């Protein structure tokens, strides 16, 4: 690398700033984690002390496990998140391909219409959505949540993916057409692998809000069998008494799957975010 551009002082300053930001960002997570391993008394006495000696306790985790349905909540969250992501990516990519690849009347208007969803929050339509779900009998099903999250994620997915798909070489798609590949084969075999980094970006941006959402599970699927993890954790928060051990333990556990999914997607994600910048 060029020496002039590799000043150790600049490098140290950049790393210093990044480390500082990392510490600030991770601090709340750190506090949740250490306090989830402490007794209630220790949490309130010294929130920042590590869980050592007398302060150490697994009571929070025990409460959460005893609550019984915690694994079911976990499973519900997982199903809803993964299924929603799958449909967002599938339909988002298909719509993006159509918008970027084919010339048809109203293409531009359709693109604008789909992008409109980015600007208007879906929660404004909650009452209408609730009425619709009641009429179709989808209240208290995971399907209701999956449908709503898919609708919520599609606008941004279409917007991002169609930009990336425009960059896929026309010659490549035409070569596929001449070799006799169907439009579906061109989409799945040629175009999708090339926009994989963008897909990962869309997946991560959608995954976290869906996993953390409290609003729609509370309204559309509050039943015991369809509670998601975030909603399930609320049982420990009462109007007068809150079981902080249990809440913190539940939150700590809820971080894990997101972390795992993020690690899987992160290499692709970084390529997706930087792909426009460095080329």
Partner 1 sequence: MTALVLESINKSFGSVDVLKDINLTVEPGEFIVFVGPSGCGKSTLLRTIAGLEDATSGRIMIGGRDVTTTPPAKRGIAMVFQSYALYPHLDVEGNMALGLKQAGEDKATITARVATAARMLSLESYLKRRPAELSGGQRQRVAIGRAIVRKPELFLFDEPLSNLDAALRMATRVEIARLHRELGASMIYVTHDQTEAMTLADRIVVLRDGRIEQVGSPMELYNDPANQFVAGFLGAPSMNFLAAAPLGAPGATLGIRPEHLRVGKEGRIRGRTTHVERLGGDTNLLVTTEAGETVTVRLFGQHPHQVDEALALDFDPRHAYGFDGKGQRLRS
Q: Which of residues 188 and 205 has its CB atom nearest to partner 1 in the complex?
A: 188
Smaller CB separation from partner 1, 60 or 197? 197
Number of residues near partner 1 (by CB under 8 A)? 15
Read off φ and ψ for residue 204, nearest 5 degrees: -70, -45
- Min dist CB 272 to partner 1, Å, is 17
- Closest approach of partner 1 to the CB of residue 93, in Å: 17
CA distance 109 to 184: 24
Does 197 participate in binding partner 1 (rule CB under 8 A)?
no
**Interaction pattern, residues 216-235, with partner 1; x per rule: CB under 8 A:** --------------------
For partner 1, the closer CB: 3 or 105: 105
Question: Which CB, 127 or 178, lies closer to partner 1?
Answer: 178
Using the minimum distance from each CB to partner 1, give the nearer residue, 178 or 263.
Answer: 178
Q: How many residues does the chain have?
A: 279
| Cα–Cα–Cα angle for 115, 120, 126, rounded to 5 degrees | 125
User: Rule CB under 8 A: which of 82-101 touch partner 1?
Assistant: none
Query: CA separation (Å) from 81 to 69, 86, 210, 211, 257?
Result: 18, 9, 6, 6, 11
Taking the complex as a whole, how short is the minimal distance between the CB of residue 181 and partner 1, in angstroms?
6
Task: Lay out the site mask for partner 1 across 142-181 (x = CB under 8 A, - = otherwise).
Answer: ---------------------------x-xx-xxxxxxxx
* Cα dihedral value 144, 146, 151, 156, nearest 10: 160
Taking the complex as a whole, the smallest distance from the CB of residue 170 to partner 1 amounts, in Å, to: 9
Angstrom CA distances, 230 to 20, 86, 118, 217, stand at: 29, 21, 24, 9
H or E element: which one contains 102?
none
Cβ(139)–Cβ(220) below 8 Å: yes
Q: How far is the CB of 4 from partner 1 (least distance, A)?
A: 30
Tell me which residue of 89, 35, 81 sits closest to 58, measured CA to CA: 35
Give the residue with the Cβ less far from partner 1, 177 or 267: 177
| Contact positions vs partner 1 (CB under 8 A) | 169, 171-172, 174-181, 189-190, 193-194
């Amino acid at each position: 690398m060029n020496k002039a551009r590799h000043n150790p002082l600049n490098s140290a300053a950049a790393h210093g700033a990044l480390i500082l930001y990392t510490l600030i960002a991770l601090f709340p997570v750190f506090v949740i984690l250490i306090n989830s391993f402490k007794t209630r008394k220790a949490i309130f006495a010294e929130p920042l002390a590590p869980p050592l000696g007398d302060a150490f306790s697994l009571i929070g985790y025990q409460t959460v496990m005893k609550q019984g349905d915690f694994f079911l909540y976990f499973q519900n969250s997982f199903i809803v998140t993964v299924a929603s992501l799958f449909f967002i990516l599938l339909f988002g990519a298909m719509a993006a391909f159509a918008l970027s690849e084919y010339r048809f009347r109203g293409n531009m208007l359709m693109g604008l219409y789909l992008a409109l969803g980015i600007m208007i929050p879906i929660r404004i339509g909650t009452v209408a959505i609730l009425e619709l779900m009641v009429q179709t009998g989808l209240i208290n099903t995971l399907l209701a949540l999956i449908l709503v999250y898919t609708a919520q994620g599609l606008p941004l997915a279409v917007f991002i993916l169609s930009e990336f798909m425009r960059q896929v070489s026309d010659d490549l798609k035409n070569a596929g057409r001449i070799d006799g590949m169907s439009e579906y084969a061109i989409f799945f075999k040629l175009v999708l692998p090339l926009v994989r980094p963008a897909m990962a970006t869309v997946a991560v941006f959608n995954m976290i809000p869906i996993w953390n959402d409290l609003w729609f599970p509370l309204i559309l699927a509050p039943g015991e069998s369809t509670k998601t993890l975030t909603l399930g954790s609320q049982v420990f928060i009462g109007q007068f008494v809150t079981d902080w051990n249990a809440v913190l333990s539940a939150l700590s556990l809820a971080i894990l799957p997101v972390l795992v999914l993020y690690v899987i997607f992160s290499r692709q994600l970084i390529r997706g975010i930087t792909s426009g910048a460095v080329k």
